[in-house]
Amino acid sequence: MTMSKSRIALLVVIAAVVALPLIGSDFFISFLMTRVLILAIAAASIVFLFRYGGMTSLAQFLIFGVAGFMVGNAVAESGKGLKLGWGPWVAVVFALGIALIVALILGALASRTSGIYFLMLTLTYAVIGYYFFGQVTSLSGFGGITGIRPPPLFDEHPERLYYAAVGLSIVAYVGFKAIARTPFGLALQGTRDDPVRMASLGFNVPLHRTLAFVIAGFVTACAGILYIWWNGQIDPTSISIGPTLDLLIIAVIGGISYLEGAWVGALVYVLANNYLRNVPLLDQIGITEARFNTVIGLLVLLIMILSPEGIMGIVDRLGRGGRGAEPSVPSIAKVETG
């Protein structure tokens, strides 16, 4: 079987990302690109839930944060939180376990709703989670947990953390695609397209949605662990409503129906955030770095008006040259009622 164009493109991108530390500066790799990848993995879980399950989840960053906070609580020996003082790898298992339980509970509760209700419910989860970690001082408090060191493998080796994020990105991308082809994944897509028919065929629709939510939760929890290793600290503000919506915005910019879109969106978002001040003339019309959110908001507005499928949707359309069949992906414009 000859390799398709998109597969070749994918391999080229992976090779470029792996080779990037050879040419990029330390700041570019360890600060920007690692952040891009971590956000992209979390955003990919949003895309997975939307594309295959028809669920628009805003709770992904909460689960991301739960994993981060649990690592912080487990490894810290002093400061805020539980101060368990465990080894870093035990902490990982612990954090993943807690995050999965949280994802299971939240997913089970939300699984009987869909569409716009799901969006609102998960947004509510996210904000309640923010206040939870803010108010429950035995776990964090508003000051957050600081001074977390990554395991010795990554300590003082930011480029290894970058490669870990690359590895996790590949696993998440390939894994999500693979899951979609399993019987479970096919049934999940069935519940997306017609829940009533799937239910009458004997499929347990809420169970499929819950399982998908847990799978997405696992991936985003892994990203959360990378995040606290990379950042060294986590506080409730980093999972508040702003960052939560930003993650959805990342998915939307890239194209919420395309798994690749998560990485594209994160790249655009982080680079815009960092290099906006370097764009000439922009500050003369009142757009400075401080008004980044206005720029991002306008970008999302523009995308939503002109091409709801985001950047990948445009690429996809150009790639097909206006010919060929419609893409077989769920479209924002087509999603109507739940």
Partner 1 sequence: MNLASAAGSDTLTPARSRPELRRRLVLGLMVVPLLLVLAWVLFLANGTSAGPAIKEPGEFLVTLLDGITVAGLFFVVASGFTLIFGLMRTVNMAHGSLFAMAAYIGITIQQTMVGKTRNIEAADVSLAAWFVPLLVGAMVAAVIGIVIQQVLLRWNEGQELRQALITLAVAVILSDQMLAWFGGLATRMVWPGAVTHFFEIAGERYATSRLFMLGMAIVVGVGLWLWLGRTRMGMVIRAGVDDRDMVRALGINIMAVFAITFFVGAFLAGVGGIMGASFAGVAPGADGQWLLNSLVVVIIGGLGSLKGAVAGSLLFGLVVSFSPAYLPQEFTFYSIILTFVLLAVVLAVRPYGLFGKAAA
Beta carbon of residue 108, minimum distance to partner 1 (angstroms, whole number): 9
Site for partner 1 in 126-185 (CB under 8 A): 127-128, 131-132, 135-137
* From candidates 195, 243, 254, 265, binder to partner 1 by CB under 8 A: 195
Q: Are residues 319 and 295 in contact, defined by beta-carbon separation less than 8 angstroms? A: no
| Interface with partner 1, residue 115, by CB under 8 A | yes
CA gap 150, 226 in Å, rounded: 9
Q: Are residues 188 and 52 in contact, defined by beta-carbon separation less than 8 angstroms? A: yes
Please, which residue, 150 or 195, has the CB nearer to partner 1? 195
* From candidates 13, 283, 298, 319, binder to partner 1 by CB under 8 A: 298
Coil, strand or helix at 260: helix
The DSSP code for 278 is G
Please, which residue, 21 or 330, has the CB nearer to partner 1? 330
* From candidates 120, 170, 179, 282, binder to partner 1 by CB under 8 A: 120
DSSP string, 195-258: HHHHHHTT--HHHHHHHHHHHHHHHHHHHHHHHHHHHS-B-GGGGSHHHHHHHHHHHHHH-TT-
Please, which residue, 92 or 139, has the CB nearer to partner 1? 139
Which residue carries 């994993």 as its tokens? 67
Beta carbon of residue 22, minimum distance to partner 1 (angstroms, whole number): 37
Q: At what angle do helices 88-110 and 60-75 cross, to 10 degrees?
A: 150
Beta bridge partners of 145: 234
Find the part of the chain contacting partner 1 (CB under 8 A) among 149-157, 223-231, 260-268, 288-296. 288-296
Residues in contact with partner 1 by CB under 8 A are 56, 109-110, 112-113, 115-117, 119-121, 123-125, 127-128, 131-132, 135-137, 195-196, 198-199, 204-206, 240-242, 245, 248-249, 252, 290-294, 296-298, 300-301, 304-305, 308, 332-338
